[in-house]
Homo-oligomer: A and B are copies of this chain.
Protein backbone atom coordinates (compact mmCIF):
# COMPACT_ATOMS: atom_id res chain seq x y z
CA UNK A 1 0.00 0.00 0.00
CA UNK A 2 1.35 3.42 -0.95
CA UNK A 3 1.41 6.00 1.90
CA UNK A 4 -1.11 8.36 0.30
CA UNK A 5 -3.33 10.72 2.25
CA UNK A 6 -6.12 12.35 0.31
CA UNK A 7 -7.96 15.12 2.17
CA UNK A 8 -11.46 15.51 0.77
CA UNK A 9 -12.05 18.72 2.74
CA UNK A 10 -8.97 20.45 1.33
CA UNK A 11 -9.21 23.35 -1.13
CA UNK A 12 -6.72 21.54 -3.36
CA UNK A 13 -8.32 19.39 -6.08
CA UNK A 14 -8.09 15.69 -5.25
CA UNK A 15 -6.18 14.79 -8.40
CA UNK A 16 -3.62 17.53 -7.62
CA UNK A 17 -3.14 16.12 -4.12
CA UNK A 18 -2.66 12.65 -5.54
CA UNK A 19 -0.34 13.80 -8.34
CA UNK A 20 1.88 15.78 -5.96
CA UNK A 21 2.07 13.01 -3.39
CA UNK A 22 3.04 10.44 -6.00
CA UNK A 23 5.66 12.81 -7.38
CA UNK A 24 7.05 13.33 -3.88
CA UNK A 25 7.31 9.58 -3.38
CA UNK A 26 9.42 9.35 -6.53
CA UNK A 27 11.61 12.29 -5.50
CA UNK A 28 12.09 10.89 -2.02
CA UNK A 29 13.09 7.54 -3.46
CA UNK A 30 10.20 5.60 -1.96
CA UNK A 31 9.06 4.79 -5.45
CA UNK A 32 11.89 3.81 -7.74
CA UNK A 33 12.36 3.38 -11.42
CA UNK A 34 10.70 0.14 -12.47
CA UNK A 35 8.26 -0.02 -9.53
CA UNK A 36 4.73 -0.89 -10.50
CA UNK A 37 1.92 1.32 -9.20
CA UNK A 38 -1.70 0.21 -8.83
CA UNK A 39 -4.11 0.44 -11.75
CA UNK A 40 -6.23 3.60 -11.57
CA UNK A 41 -9.41 1.59 -10.82
CA UNK A 42 -7.68 -0.26 -7.99
CA UNK A 43 -6.16 2.89 -6.43
CA UNK A 44 -9.48 4.71 -6.71
CA UNK A 45 -11.15 2.00 -4.63
CA UNK A 46 -8.32 2.03 -2.07
CA UNK A 47 -8.51 5.80 -1.61
CA UNK A 48 -12.27 6.05 -1.88
CA UNK A 49 -12.11 8.56 -4.75
CA UNK A 50 -13.57 8.57 -8.24
CA UNK A 51 -11.58 6.77 -10.88
CA UNK A 52 -11.22 9.89 -13.04
CA UNK A 53 -9.40 11.53 -10.13
CA UNK A 54 -6.70 8.88 -10.31
CA UNK A 55 -6.75 8.86 -14.11
CA UNK A 56 -6.20 12.64 -14.19
CA UNK A 57 -3.28 12.41 -11.76
CA UNK A 58 -1.70 9.60 -13.78
CA UNK A 59 -2.15 11.49 -17.04
CA UNK A 60 -0.25 14.48 -15.68
CA UNK A 61 2.54 12.35 -14.28
CA UNK A 62 2.83 10.53 -17.57
CA UNK A 63 3.11 13.81 -19.48
CA UNK A 64 5.94 14.76 -17.10
CA UNK A 65 7.71 11.51 -17.91
CA UNK A 66 7.52 10.23 -14.35
CA UNK A 67 5.33 7.20 -15.02
CA UNK A 68 4.50 5.13 -18.05
CA UNK A 69 1.59 2.83 -18.76
CA UNK A 70 2.10 -0.41 -20.71
CA UNK A 71 -1.06 -2.02 -22.03
CA UNK A 72 -1.62 -5.32 -20.31
CA UNK A 73 1.37 -4.96 -17.96
CA UNK A 74 0.40 -1.99 -15.80
CA UNK A 75 1.82 1.41 -14.92
CA UNK A 76 5.44 1.87 -13.91
CA UNK A 77 7.73 4.53 -12.47
CA UNK A 78 10.20 5.75 -15.09
CA UNK A 79 12.70 7.67 -12.97
CA UNK A 80 13.34 11.02 -11.32
CA UNK A 81 13.09 14.46 -12.88
CA UNK A 82 13.09 14.63 -16.65
CA UNK A 83 16.42 14.97 -18.44
CA UNK A 84 17.69 18.52 -18.28
CA UNK A 85 17.53 20.15 -21.67
CA UNK A 86 15.83 23.23 -22.96
CA UNK A 87 12.35 22.54 -24.19
CA UNK A 88 10.15 25.61 -24.57
CA UNK A 89 7.49 25.37 -21.88
CA UNK A 90 3.87 26.03 -22.74
CA UNK A 91 3.52 28.44 -19.88
CA UNK A 92 2.89 31.75 -21.60
CA UNK A 93 -0.70 32.86 -21.21
CA UNK A 94 -2.80 35.22 -23.30
CA UNK A 95 -1.52 38.59 -22.12
CA UNK A 96 2.20 37.80 -22.35
CA UNK A 97 2.67 37.19 -18.63
CA UNK A 98 3.82 34.13 -16.80
CA UNK A 99 1.58 31.29 -15.63
CA UNK A 100 3.02 31.40 -12.14
CA UNK A 101 1.05 28.38 -10.95
CA UNK A 102 3.19 26.23 -13.19
CA UNK A 103 6.34 27.55 -11.55
CA UNK A 104 5.46 27.00 -7.91
CA UNK A 105 6.76 23.97 -6.08
CA UNK A 106 3.85 21.72 -5.07
CA UNK A 107 1.72 22.93 -2.21
CA UNK A 108 1.91 20.30 0.45
CA UNK A 109 -0.12 21.57 3.34
CA UNK A 110 0.94 25.15 4.05
CA UNK A 111 -2.75 25.98 3.99
CA UNK A 112 -3.33 23.81 7.09
CA UNK A 113 -2.80 26.85 9.28
CA UNK A 114 -4.99 29.27 7.37
CA UNK A 115 -7.93 26.90 7.80
CA UNK A 116 -7.98 27.54 11.53
CA UNK A 117 -7.80 31.33 11.11
CA UNK A 118 -11.34 32.07 9.97
CA UNK A 119 -12.76 35.55 9.47
CA UNK A 120 -14.53 36.45 12.68
CA UNK A 121 -17.62 38.65 12.23
CA UNK A 122 -17.95 41.44 14.80
CA UNK A 123 -20.27 40.61 17.72
CA UNK A 124 -19.85 36.87 17.31
CA UNK A 125 -18.88 34.64 20.22
CA UNK A 126 -15.76 33.09 18.78
CA UNK A 127 -14.39 30.00 20.54
CA UNK A 128 -11.86 29.86 17.74
CA UNK A 129 -8.57 31.20 18.95
CA UNK A 130 -5.84 29.80 21.14
CA UNK A 131 -4.28 33.20 21.72
CA UNK A 132 -4.07 35.26 24.90
CA UNK A 133 -6.73 37.76 25.87
CA UNK A 134 -5.48 41.25 25.03
CA UNK A 135 -7.88 42.90 27.48
CA UNK A 136 -5.26 42.33 30.15
CA UNK A 137 -2.04 43.16 28.27
CA UNK A 138 0.22 45.25 30.56
CA UNK A 139 0.83 47.71 27.74
CA UNK A 140 2.15 50.48 29.96
CA UNK A 141 4.78 48.24 31.61
CA UNK A 142 5.84 46.98 28.19
CA UNK A 143 6.14 50.53 26.88
CA UNK A 144 8.41 51.46 29.76
CA UNK A 145 10.59 48.41 29.11
CA UNK A 146 10.94 49.25 25.40
CA UNK A 147 11.73 52.82 26.29
CA UNK A 148 14.37 51.83 28.84
CA UNK A 149 16.25 49.39 26.65
CA UNK A 150 16.41 51.69 23.63
CA UNK A 151 17.63 54.51 25.86
CA UNK A 152 20.31 52.39 27.50
CA UNK A 153 21.43 50.04 24.71
CA UNK A 154 19.85 51.42 21.54
CA UNK A 155 22.96 51.38 19.41
CA UNK A 156 23.65 47.72 20.15
CA UNK A 157 20.00 46.69 19.73
CA UNK A 158 19.66 48.42 16.36
CA UNK A 159 22.93 47.03 14.91
CA UNK A 160 23.14 43.56 13.37
CA UNK A 161 23.06 40.98 16.16
CA UNK A 162 24.27 37.44 16.64
CA UNK A 163 22.20 34.48 15.47
CA UNK A 164 22.40 32.95 18.91
CA UNK A 165 20.16 35.55 20.53
CA UNK A 166 20.45 38.80 22.50
CA UNK A 167 22.61 38.03 25.54
CA UNK A 168 20.42 39.65 28.27
CA UNK A 169 17.40 37.69 27.03
CA UNK A 170 19.33 34.42 27.00
CA UNK A 171 20.35 35.12 30.59
CA UNK A 172 16.78 35.52 31.90
CA UNK A 173 15.55 32.49 29.96
CA UNK A 174 18.33 30.30 31.37
CA UNK A 175 17.20 31.40 34.84
CA UNK A 176 13.56 30.53 34.04
CA UNK A 177 14.69 27.09 32.85
CA UNK A 178 16.77 26.51 35.98
CA UNK A 179 13.69 27.11 38.13
CA UNK A 180 11.94 24.40 36.14
CA UNK A 181 14.67 21.82 36.72
CA UNK A 182 16.58 22.35 33.48
CA UNK A 183 20.22 23.23 33.99
CA UNK A 184 21.14 24.39 30.50
CA UNK A 185 24.31 26.17 29.46
CA UNK A 186 24.29 29.22 27.24
CA UNK A 187 25.39 27.10 24.25
CA UNK A 188 22.31 24.91 24.65
CA UNK A 189 19.87 27.76 24.11
CA UNK A 190 18.93 29.38 20.81
CA UNK A 191 16.53 32.31 20.49
CA UNK A 192 14.02 31.95 17.63
CA UNK A 193 10.99 33.84 16.31
CA UNK A 194 8.65 31.54 18.22
CA UNK A 195 7.64 27.88 18.18
CA UNK A 196 6.53 27.95 14.56
CA UNK A 197 10.03 28.98 13.50
CA UNK A 198 11.65 26.51 15.90
CA UNK A 199 9.75 23.74 14.12
CA UNK A 200 10.81 25.10 10.73
CA UNK A 201 14.47 25.16 11.79
CA UNK A 202 14.33 21.66 13.28
CA UNK A 203 12.68 20.43 10.12
CA UNK A 204 15.44 21.94 7.98
CA UNK A 205 18.21 20.60 10.24
CA UNK A 206 16.97 17.04 10.54
CA UNK A 207 14.65 16.05 7.75
CA UNK A 208 14.92 15.09 4.15
CA UNK A 209 12.00 14.34 1.85
CA UNK A 210 10.68 10.90 2.65
CA UNK A 211 11.84 10.83 6.28
CA UNK A 212 9.25 9.78 8.85
CA UNK A 213 8.07 12.07 11.67
CA UNK A 214 5.61 11.15 14.39
CA UNK A 215 3.05 13.74 15.45
CA UNK A 216 0.09 13.56 17.76
CA UNK A 217 -3.24 12.91 16.01
CA UNK A 218 -5.01 15.34 16.27
CA UNK A 219 -2.20 17.86 16.13
CA UNK A 220 -1.35 21.57 15.88
CA UNK A 221 -1.98 22.59 12.23
CA UNK A 222 1.19 24.70 12.21
CA UNK A 223 3.21 21.52 12.71
CA UNK A 224 1.28 19.75 9.97
CA UNK A 225 1.95 22.74 7.68
CA UNK A 226 5.71 22.70 8.34
CA UNK A 227 6.27 18.99 7.97
CA UNK A 228 3.82 18.65 5.11
CA UNK A 229 5.54 21.34 3.08
CA UNK A 230 8.91 19.66 3.69
CA UNK A 231 7.57 16.51 1.99
CA UNK A 232 8.23 14.28 4.98
CA UNK A 233 6.00 11.40 5.96
CA UNK A 234 3.81 12.39 8.94
CA UNK A 235 2.46 9.53 11.00
CA UNK A 236 -0.10 10.36 13.67
CA UNK A 237 -0.08 8.72 17.10
CA UNK A 238 -3.60 8.88 18.55
CA UNK A 239 -4.33 11.23 21.43
CA UNK A 240 -7.10 9.64 23.46
CA UNK A 241 -9.63 12.19 24.69
CA UNK A 242 -11.59 9.71 26.81
CA UNK A 243 -9.70 9.12 30.07
CA UNK A 244 -11.49 5.83 30.72
CA UNK A 245 -10.06 3.96 27.77
CA UNK A 246 -6.35 4.03 28.68
CA UNK A 247 -6.63 5.12 32.30
CA UNK A 248 -5.53 8.61 31.25
CA UNK A 249 -6.29 11.09 28.50
CA UNK A 250 -3.41 11.88 26.17
CA UNK A 251 -0.96 10.34 23.73
CA UNK A 252 -1.45 6.58 23.41
CA UNK A 253 2.01 5.33 24.37
CA UNK A 254 1.18 1.73 23.39
CA UNK A 255 0.51 2.75 19.82
CA UNK A 256 3.67 4.85 19.90
CA UNK A 257 5.66 1.77 20.84
CA UNK A 258 4.29 -0.34 18.04
CA UNK A 259 4.86 2.41 15.46
CA UNK A 260 8.46 2.85 16.66
CA UNK A 261 8.95 -0.89 16.37
CA UNK A 262 7.81 -0.97 12.77
CA UNK A 263 9.22 2.25 11.35
CA UNK A 264 12.51 4.02 11.17
CA UNK A 265 11.46 7.30 12.75
CA UNK A 266 13.52 10.47 12.48
CA UNK A 267 11.74 12.73 15.01
CA UNK A 268 8.84 12.68 17.46
CA UNK A 269 6.94 15.89 18.23
CA UNK A 270 4.81 15.98 21.38
CA UNK A 271 2.99 18.57 23.47
CA UNK A 272 2.75 16.91 26.89
CA UNK A 273 1.12 19.89 28.64
CA UNK A 274 -2.31 21.17 27.54
CA UNK A 275 -1.95 19.65 24.12
CA UNK A 276 -3.43 21.66 21.27
CA UNK A 277 -6.22 20.88 20.34
CA UNK A 278 -7.32 18.36 23.01
CA UNK A 279 -6.07 20.16 26.12
CA UNK A 280 -4.82 16.87 27.61
CA UNK A 281 -1.72 16.59 29.82
CA UNK A 282 0.37 13.43 29.78
CA UNK A 283 0.81 11.91 33.29
CA UNK A 284 4.31 11.46 34.66
CA UNK A 285 4.33 7.65 34.30
CA UNK A 286 3.59 7.96 30.57
CA UNK A 287 6.24 10.67 30.23
CA UNK A 288 8.80 8.27 31.69
CA UNK A 289 7.65 5.50 29.38
CA UNK A 290 7.81 7.83 26.38
CA UNK A 291 11.40 8.80 27.28
CA UNK A 292 12.34 5.15 27.69
CA UNK A 293 10.90 4.31 24.27
CA UNK A 294 12.69 7.23 22.65
CA UNK A 295 15.96 6.08 24.22
CA UNK A 296 15.44 2.48 23.14
CA UNK A 297 14.69 3.43 19.54
CA UNK A 298 17.11 6.39 19.59
CA UNK A 299 14.50 8.85 18.38
CA UNK A 300 14.89 12.53 19.36
CA UNK A 301 11.85 14.15 20.96
CA UNK A 302 10.75 17.70 20.24
CA UNK A 303 8.79 18.84 23.30
CA UNK A 304 6.41 21.73 22.60
CA UNK A 305 5.99 23.50 25.93
CA UNK A 306 4.16 26.59 24.72
CA UNK A 307 1.08 26.13 26.95
CA UNK A 308 2.75 24.52 29.98
CA UNK A 309 3.06 27.69 32.06
CA UNK A 310 -0.70 28.29 31.83
CA UNK A 311 -1.71 25.74 34.49
CA UNK A 312 -4.70 27.08 36.44
CA UNK A 313 -5.10 24.22 38.94
CA UNK A 314 -3.54 20.89 40.01
CA UNK A 315 0.14 20.03 40.34
CA UNK A 316 2.60 20.77 37.54
CA UNK A 317 4.16 17.70 35.92
CA UNK A 318 7.91 17.90 35.21
CA UNK A 319 8.68 18.49 31.56
CA UNK A 320 10.18 15.78 29.37
CA UNK A 321 13.33 17.89 29.18
CA UNK A 322 13.57 17.98 33.00
CA UNK A 323 13.09 14.18 33.15
CA UNK A 324 15.42 13.44 30.25
CA UNK A 325 18.52 11.40 31.22
CA UNK A 326 19.72 10.60 27.71
CA UNK A 327 19.93 14.05 26.15
CA UNK A 328 17.16 13.15 23.70
CA UNK A 329 14.79 16.07 24.23
CA UNK A 330 14.78 19.36 22.35
CA UNK A 331 12.32 21.69 24.06
CA UNK A 332 10.64 24.56 22.22
CA UNK A 333 8.82 27.39 23.95
CA UNK A 334 7.81 31.02 23.44
CA UNK A 335 6.37 34.19 24.94
CA UNK A 336 3.33 33.94 22.64
CA UNK A 337 0.85 32.31 24.98
CA UNK A 338 2.11 33.64 28.33
CA UNK A 339 2.59 37.20 27.10
CA UNK A 340 2.45 38.73 23.60
CA UNK A 341 2.11 36.83 20.32
CA UNK A 342 2.72 40.05 18.37
CA UNK A 343 6.35 40.01 19.54
CA UNK A 344 7.82 37.09 17.66
CA UNK A 345 10.25 35.70 20.22
CA UNK A 346 10.66 32.10 21.34
CA UNK A 347 13.45 29.69 22.17
CA UNK A 348 14.78 26.22 21.76
CA UNK A 349 16.89 24.30 24.30
CA UNK A 350 18.68 21.03 23.60
CA UNK A 351 22.01 19.23 23.25
CA UNK A 352 24.88 21.51 22.34
CA UNK A 353 25.71 19.96 18.96
CA UNK A 354 22.06 20.15 17.91
CA UNK A 355 21.95 23.83 18.83
CA UNK A 356 25.17 24.44 16.92
CA UNK A 357 23.56 22.99 13.82
CA UNK A 358 20.31 24.92 14.38
CA UNK A 359 22.24 28.17 14.73
CA UNK A 360 23.70 27.69 11.25
CA UNK A 361 20.27 26.90 9.86
CA UNK A 362 18.75 29.93 11.60
CA UNK A 363 21.49 32.17 10.24
CA UNK A 364 20.77 31.04 6.69
CA UNK A 365 17.03 31.47 7.31
CA UNK A 366 16.80 35.04 8.65
CA UNK A 367 20.16 35.97 10.28
CA UNK A 368 18.72 36.50 13.77
CA UNK A 369 15.57 37.33 15.73
CA UNK A 370 14.45 40.95 16.05
CA UNK A 371 16.49 42.64 18.77
CA UNK A 372 14.07 45.36 19.83
CA UNK A 373 11.59 42.73 20.98
CA UNK A 374 14.29 40.49 22.44
CA UNK A 375 15.65 43.35 24.54
CA UNK A 376 12.21 44.59 25.57
CA UNK A 377 11.09 41.12 26.67
CA UNK A 378 14.35 40.56 28.58
CA UNK A 379 13.63 43.75 30.54
CA UNK A 380 9.98 42.73 30.99
CA UNK A 381 11.07 39.45 32.58
CA UNK A 382 13.90 41.04 34.58
CA UNK A 383 11.53 43.57 36.18
CA UNK A 384 9.20 40.75 37.27
CA UNK A 385 6.37 41.83 34.95
CA UNK A 386 6.11 38.42 33.29
CA UNK A 387 5.59 36.60 36.60
CA UNK A 388 2.97 39.14 37.70
CA UNK A 389 1.21 39.00 34.34
CA UNK A 390 1.13 35.19 34.34
CA UNK A 391 -0.24 35.06 37.89
CA UNK A 392 -3.02 37.42 36.87
CA UNK A 393 -3.83 35.57 33.67
CA UNK A 394 -4.00 32.21 35.43
CA UNK A 395 -6.82 33.65 37.56
CA UNK A 396 -8.58 35.03 34.50
CA UNK A 397 -8.22 31.83 32.48
CA UNK A 398 -9.15 29.69 35.52
CA UNK A 399 -12.44 31.55 35.88
CA UNK A 400 -13.12 31.21 32.15
CA UNK A 401 -12.38 27.52 32.19
CA UNK A 402 -14.74 27.02 35.12
CA UNK A 403 -17.44 28.98 33.34
CA UNK A 404 -16.97 26.81 30.27
CA UNK A 405 -17.17 23.58 32.25
CA UNK A 406 -20.27 24.76 34.08
CA UNK A 407 -21.96 25.73 30.83
CA UNK A 408 -21.03 22.46 29.15
CA UNK A 409 -22.47 20.48 32.10
CA UNK A 410 -25.62 22.53 31.93
CA UNK A 411 -26.27 22.73 28.20
CA UNK A 412 -24.68 19.78 26.45
CA UNK A 413 -27.04 16.91 25.60
CA UNK A 414 -26.31 13.43 26.83
CA UNK A 415 -23.82 11.58 24.66
CA UNK A 416 -21.56 14.64 24.34
CA UNK A 417 -18.22 14.51 26.19
CA UNK A 418 -15.26 16.86 26.64
CA UNK A 419 -11.74 16.76 27.97
CA UNK A 420 -11.07 17.78 31.60
CA UNK A 421 -8.18 20.20 31.35
CA UNK A 422 -6.24 22.01 34.07
CA UNK A 423 -4.89 24.85 31.98
CA UNK A 424 -3.99 25.86 28.46
CA UNK A 425 -6.50 27.55 26.22
CA UNK A 426 -8.83 24.91 24.80
CA UNK A 427 -11.24 22.08 25.58
CA UNK A 428 -11.96 19.31 23.08
CA UNK A 429 -15.57 18.24 22.61
CA UNK A 430 -16.78 14.93 21.18
CA UNK A 431 -20.35 15.02 19.88
CA UNK A 432 -22.59 11.97 19.73
CA UNK A 433 -21.62 9.53 16.96
CA UNK A 434 -22.84 10.50 13.50
CA UNK A 435 -22.58 14.25 14.11
CA UNK A 436 -20.51 16.32 11.72
CA UNK A 437 -19.08 19.34 13.51
CA UNK A 438 -18.44 21.04 10.16
CA UNK A 439 -22.13 20.88 9.39
CA UNK A 440 -23.02 22.02 12.89
CA UNK A 441 -20.77 25.05 12.44
CA UNK A 442 -22.85 26.22 9.47
CA UNK A 443 -25.94 26.39 11.65
CA UNK A 444 -24.34 27.75 14.79
CA UNK A 445 -22.49 30.47 12.86
CA UNK A 446 -25.88 31.87 11.82
CA UNK A 447 -26.59 32.28 15.51
CA UNK A 448 -23.32 34.17 16.07
CA UNK A 449 -21.20 31.42 17.58
CA UNK A 450 -17.96 30.07 16.10
CA UNK A 451 -15.65 27.16 16.85
CA UNK A 452 -13.08 25.12 14.91
CA UNK A 453 -14.22 21.73 13.64
CA UNK A 454 -11.91 18.98 14.91
CA UNK A 455 -11.20 17.62 11.45
CA UNK A 456 -8.73 20.43 10.69
CA UNK A 457 -6.39 19.06 13.36
CA UNK A 458 -6.17 15.48 12.16
CA UNK A 459 -3.35 14.03 10.11
CA UNK A 460 -5.18 10.76 9.59
CA UNK A 461 -8.63 9.34 10.34
CA UNK A 462 -10.43 12.63 11.05
CA UNK A 463 -13.12 12.33 13.71
CA UNK A 464 -15.84 14.48 12.20
CA UNK A 465 -17.82 14.63 15.46
CA UNK A 466 -15.12 16.59 17.32
CA UNK A 467 -14.53 20.30 17.82
CA UNK A 468 -12.16 22.62 19.67
CA UNK A 469 -13.43 25.30 22.05
CA UNK A 470 -10.84 27.98 22.77
CA UNK A 471 -11.87 29.75 25.97
CA UNK A 472 -9.03 32.19 26.68
CA UNK A 473 -10.37 35.06 24.60
CA UNK A 474 -13.97 35.16 25.88
CA UNK A 475 -15.37 36.37 29.21
CA UNK A 476 -17.62 34.25 31.43
CA UNK A 477 -20.85 35.78 30.12
CA UNK A 478 -19.93 35.23 26.49
CA UNK A 479 -18.91 31.67 27.31
CA UNK A 480 -22.23 30.91 29.02
CA UNK A 481 -24.26 32.42 26.18
CA UNK A 482 -22.21 30.74 23.47
CA UNK A 483 -22.41 27.28 25.00
CA UNK A 484 -26.13 27.67 25.61
CA UNK A 485 -26.62 28.41 21.91
CA UNK A 486 -24.38 25.54 20.89
CA UNK A 487 -26.04 23.08 23.29
CA UNK A 488 -29.54 24.01 22.16
CA UNK A 489 -28.61 23.52 18.52
CA UNK A 490 -27.04 20.11 19.14
CA UNK A 491 -30.11 19.12 21.15
CA UNK A 492 -32.47 20.11 18.35
CA UNK A 493 -30.35 18.26 15.79
CA UNK A 494 -30.42 15.20 18.02
CA UNK A 495 -34.18 15.38 18.23
CA UNK A 496 -34.42 15.60 14.47
CA UNK A 497 -32.31 12.49 14.24
CA UNK A 498 -34.40 10.72 16.85
CA UNK A 499 -37.52 11.52 14.88
CA UNK A 500 -35.78 9.86 11.99
CA UNK A 501 -35.93 13.08 10.09
CA UNK A 502 -33.31 13.44 7.40
CA UNK A 503 -31.04 16.37 7.87
CA UNK A 504 -32.24 18.59 5.11
CA UNK A 505 -30.04 21.49 4.46
CA UNK A 506 -30.53 22.65 0.93
CA UNK A 507 -27.33 22.75 -1.04
CA UNK A 508 -25.18 21.22 1.65
CA UNK A 509 -23.86 17.69 1.42
CA UNK A 510 -22.21 16.18 4.49
CA UNK A 511 -18.61 15.23 3.80
CA UNK A 512 -18.55 11.82 5.47
Which A residues are within 8 Å of any B CB, using their own CB? 26-30, 32-34, 79-81, 84-87, 89, 91-92, 96-98, 100-101, 103-107, 109-114, 129, 131-132, 134, 137, 139-140, 142-143, 146-147, 150-151, 154-161, 193-194, 196-197, 200, 204-210, 212, 222, 225-226, 229, 261-264, 266, 295, 298, 300, 326-328, 336, 339-345, 351, 353-354, 357, 360-361, 363-373, 376
Contact = CB atoms under 8 A, between A and B. Distances in A.
Contacts of A150: 139, 142-143, 146
A452 to B, nearest CB: 15
A363 B199 CA distance: 13
Contacts of A340: 158-159
Given A341-B159, A344-B370, A361-B110, A328 B98 contact: yes
Given A86-B262, A98-B326, A343 B364 contact: no
A276 to B, nearest CB: 14
A107 B361 CA distance: 9
Given A261-B86, A326-B98, A29 B81 contact: yes
B84 A30 contact: yes
A149 to B, nearest CB: 9
Contacts of A143: 147, 150-151, 154
Nearest to A34: B33
A298 B100 CA distance: 10
Please state the number of chain copies in the assembly: 2
18 contacts: A27-B28, A28-B80, A92-B298, A105-B205, A110-B360, A111-B360, A113-B367, A129-B160, A131-B159, A139-B150, A140-B154, A158-B343, A194-B367, A196-B366, A204-B229, A225-B364, A342-B371, A373-B373
Contact of A344 (B101, B132, B154, B366): B366
A21 to B, nearest CB: 14
A370 to B, nearest CB: 4
Contacts of A158: 134, 137, 139, 142, 339-343
A367 B344 contact: yes
Given A131-B159, A155-B139, A87 B300 contact: no
Given A27-B28, A81-B210, A204 B344 contact: no
Q: Which 9 A-B pairs have the closest CB atoms?
A: A29-B80, A139-B154, A225-B364, A160-B341, A158-B340, A342-B371, A143-B150, A29-B81, A197-B366
A376 B372 CA distance: 10
Contacts of A34: 33
